[in-house]
Amino acid sequence: MTLRLAIFDVDGTLVDSQATIVACMQEAFRAEKLEPPAPEAVRRIVGLALPLATAALLPEPDAELAERLAEHYKRAFFARRARPDFDEPLFPGAREVLDALAREGWLLGVATGKAMRGLKAVLARHGLERHFVTLQTADRHPSKPHPAMIEAALAETGAAREATVMIGDTSFDVLMAKAAGVAPIGVAWGNHPVEELYAAGARCVLSRFEELLDHLREPARIRPVA
């Protein structure tokens, strides 16, 4: 039997973390006495590995400053996560769709710009540890859109490339999927606009999580990227 694998991005796809990411990035810039980036600019870099994300927000290349900003961001995030009012909810329908896919025999994985420590904290907070058989993070691979995370997930699970999909909210996710030769599926509730996901090569863009089930039940839609 062909193994089928659905790989999910986290921030902006499974978890509504936009407000946290924007606030922490702005705090990081203030720590260096820099003008904080606009929320729209921060949303553009969600999904990249953290040092690349901070570098992309700088007006001029400065690797040392980008690293310092990344450290400020981490400290701001850890402090915020420790607050009793911290809340990063799952998007509506996410848990139900994950449960349904598991019942239907899909293997589930994650490919995220988070570090492994942060990913495991998110999964534990929402009780999702048992759902995923492969976890790929930016601290163990090149940043998206490099295909390394998907390649590792395929190797770990033994899933067929032609029966694997990548679900994400940014063009980085779509381009990563195309580079790995798996089907890219976008979501409309995340950080990059729908038209940009299609321009990057998304096979479809979901407006509700539940639509993923109908899409994956049509095998003709799951083909390797040419």
Question: Are residues 103 and 213 part of one domain?
Answer: yes
Tell me the whole-structure pTM to 2 decimals.
0.92
| Best mean pLDDT range from 9-13, 46-50, 222-226 | 9-13
**63 & 160 share domain:** no
**Per-residue confidence (pLDDT) for residue 226, from 0 to 100:** 41
Residue 9: active-site member: yes
**Residue 219's pLDDT band (cuts 50, 70, 90):** low
Assess contact for 196 and 171: CB atoms under 8 A.
yes
Q: And the tokens for 144? A: 């998206």
Kindly report the CATH number assigned to the domain that includes residue 12.
3.40.50.1000
pLDDT number for residue 217: 85
Which residues span the domain enclosing 24? Answer: 18-81
Banded pLDDT at 154 (limits 50, 70, 90): very high
Asked whether residue 110 falls in the same domain as residue 216, the answer is yes
Please tell me whether residues 39 and 148 are part of one structural domain: no
In the chain, which ranges are continuous DSSP H helix? 18-31, 39-45, 50-56, 63-81, 94-103, 116-125, 148-157, 171-180, 194-200, 211-216
In a domain, 226, yes or no: no
- Is residue 164 domain-shared with residue 121, that is, in the same domain? yes
Residues 194 and 118 in one domain: yes
Q: Predicted confidence band at 220 (pLDDT cuts at 50, 70, 90)?
A: low
Give the count of domains, the chain: 2
Do 65 and 37 fall into the same domain?
Answer: yes
pLDDT the model gives residue 218: 75
Give pLDDT tens digits for 170-216: 999 999 999 999 999 999 999 999 999 999 999 999 999 999 999 99
Which secondary structure element, helix H or strand E, spans residue 166, and what is its range?
strand 164-168
Residues 98 and 171 in one domain: yes
Pick from 30, 54, 81: which residue ends a domain?
Answer: 81
d(CA 23, CA 95): 26
The residue-averaged pLDDT of 42-57 equals: 94
Is 204 part of any domain? yes
pLDDT at 222: 47
- Residue 163: its pLDDT value, please? 94
Residue 152 placed within a domain: yes
Same domain, residue pair 212 and 170? yes
Residue 33 to residue 224: CA distance in whole angstroms: 47
Residues 32 and 109 in one domain: no
| Residue 226: DSSP 8-state | -
